[in-house]
């Protein structure tokens, strides 16, 4: 079986803790090159994970690695556009860590380039691949909790020590909404089956930031009558990071963190979720393992991609409406 040959650009935390440990253990994939502006880091990481070649720039990597199948873009958001475009135009399939880009215009350009060159494009939304999330999604699709009419999701996390660039709009495109809120919106929206968004209302706060929002509260109305609340913050006061996703149906409800699926049976509410549950660290690790296995097998043509460029463009369209709503201090209708 010929392996999928992958190059990774950007050797920060997500590449070192998720992509490289997973890909270097897969039988049907091979990391043939890594790339980072920090040449010493590129050399060290290549040696650590047994990657045969390392480069300083993506131009060098693309020129030298003609047989490479795909590129993983794990750089800060400001470089996603140029990295993805260059890779796609070089004939490579591309996986971009979230968000796809800083703006909808950039996201559309990346997606159109992928279509023009007939390359596969996937955006890293690893929470869809958590074992508990996949189980809950299956229950919802099978109507086990009835019709979902309301969902709420949120993520509260302190700004990481190496995340100063996240607070600079020119580099990140936005604040906590793009960093955490979009991830939870994507997860809940996926759970709900992608209902068409009718209207968004948002409030943003800048308690500890100047250029971007550090807290975001969003309420979305769908054309089918369902609703969704998404909240995210870097400035919450708590002893621990926390995220959740709750879905409420006409015959029950489902929740992540903690994992519960409550269904009304014979007049009683029963938790029908599997009894065996992984700890948060295991769920995090498995989410990336499942995501990257899905990507590699999709590159082999065994199934369609989940979390496509089209979906990412739609999420950016909603994000643009959210920012407009927060700026105008009123509801914004999507067209």
Tell me, what's the pLDDT at 276?
A: 74
pLDDT tier for residue 192 given thresholds of 50, 70 and 90: very high
Q: What is the rounded CA–CA span in Å between residue 145 and residue 252?
A: 4
Q: Among 133, 177, 151, which Cα is nearest to 306's? A: 133
User: Which CATH code is given to the segment(s) 130-279+314-333?
Assistant: 3.30.360.10
What count of residues does the chain have?
Answer: 335
Token pair recorded at residue 232: 């995210």
CATH class for the region spanning 4-127+291-308: alpha beta
Q: In this structure, are residues 73 and 9 in contact, taking their beta carbons and an 8 Å threshold?
A: yes
Q: What is the mean pLDDT of residues 102-130?
A: 97
Q: What is the mean pLDDT of residues 201-224?
A: 97
Supply φ then ψ for residue 118, to 5 degrees: 55, 45
Query: pLDDT digits over 284-321, tens only?
Result: 999 999 999 999 999 999 999 999 999 999 999 999 99
Tell me, what's the pLDDT at 306?
A: 94
Q: pLDDT at residue 162 above 90? A: no
Q: Among 91, 97, 129, 138, which Cα is nearest to 113's? A: 91
Q: Among 131, 128, 111, which Cα is nearest to 120's? A: 111
Q: pLDDT at residue 257 above 80? A: yes
Mean pLDDT of the chain: 96
Q: pLDDT at residue 1 above 70? A: no
Beta bridge partners of 8: 34, 72
pLDDT tier for residue 237 given thresholds of 50, 70 and 90: confident
Q: What is the rounded CA–CA span in Å between residue 143 and residue 121?
A: 30
CA distances from 264 to 148, 152, 188, 247, 251 (A): 14, 20, 22, 15, 6
Domain chopping of the chain, boundaries = 4-127+291-308, 130-279+314-333
B/e letters for 77-109, b = 16+ CB within 10 Å, e = fewer, are: bbbbbebbbbbbebebbbbbbbbbbbbbebbbb
pTM of the model: 0.95
Token pair recorded at residue 106: 């950039």
Q: What is the mean pLDDT of residues 13-22?
A: 97
Token pair recorded at residue 5: 């040959």
- How open is the CA angle 288-292-296, to the nearest 5 degrees? 170
Token pair recorded at residue 147: 């019709």
Query: pLDDT digits over 27-62, tens only?
Result: 999 999 999 999 999 999 999 999 999 999 999 999
């Amino acid at each position: 079986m010929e392996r999928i040959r992958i190059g990774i650009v950007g050797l920060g935390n997500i590449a070192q803790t998720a992509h490289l440990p997973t890909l270097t253990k897969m039988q049907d994939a091979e990391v043939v090159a890594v790339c980072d502006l920090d040449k010493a880091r590129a050399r060290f990481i290549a040696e650590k994970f047994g990657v045969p070649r390392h480069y300083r720039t993506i131009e060098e990597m693309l020129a030298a690695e003609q047989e490479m199948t795909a590129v993983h873009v794990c750089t800060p958001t400001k470089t996603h556009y140029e990295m993805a475009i260059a890779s796609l135009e070089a004939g490579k399939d591309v996986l971009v860590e979230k968000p796809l880009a800083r703006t909808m215009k950039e996201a559309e350009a990346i997606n159109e380039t992928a279509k023009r060159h007939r390359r596969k494009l996937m955006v890293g939304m690893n929470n869809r691949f958590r074992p508990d999330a996949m189980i809950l999604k299956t229950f919802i699709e099978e109507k086990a909790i009835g019709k979902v009419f309301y969902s709420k999701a949120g993520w509260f996390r302190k700004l990481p020590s190496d995340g100063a660039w996240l607070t600079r709009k020119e580099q990140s495109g936005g604040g906590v909404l793009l960093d955490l809120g979009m991830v939870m919106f994507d997860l809940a929206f996926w759970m709900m089956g992608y209902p068409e968004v009718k209207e968004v209302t948002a409030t943003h706060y800048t308690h500890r930031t100047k250029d971007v929002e550090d807290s975001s509260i969003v309420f979305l109305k769908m054309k089918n009558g369902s609703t969704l609340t998404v909240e995210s913050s870097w400035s919450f006061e708590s002893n621990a990071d926390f995220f959740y996703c709750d879905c409420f149906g006409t015959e029950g409800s489902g929740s992540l963190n903690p994992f519960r699926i409550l269904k009304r049976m014979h007049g009683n509410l029963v938790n029908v979720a599997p009894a065996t549950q992984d700890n948060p660290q295991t769920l995090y690790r498995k989410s990336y393992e499942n995501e990257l296995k899905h990507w590699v097998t999709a590159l082999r043509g065994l199934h369609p991609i989940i979390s496509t460029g089209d979906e990412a463009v739609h999420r950016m369209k909603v994000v643009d409406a959210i920012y407009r709503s927060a700026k105008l201090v009123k509801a914004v209708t999507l067209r």
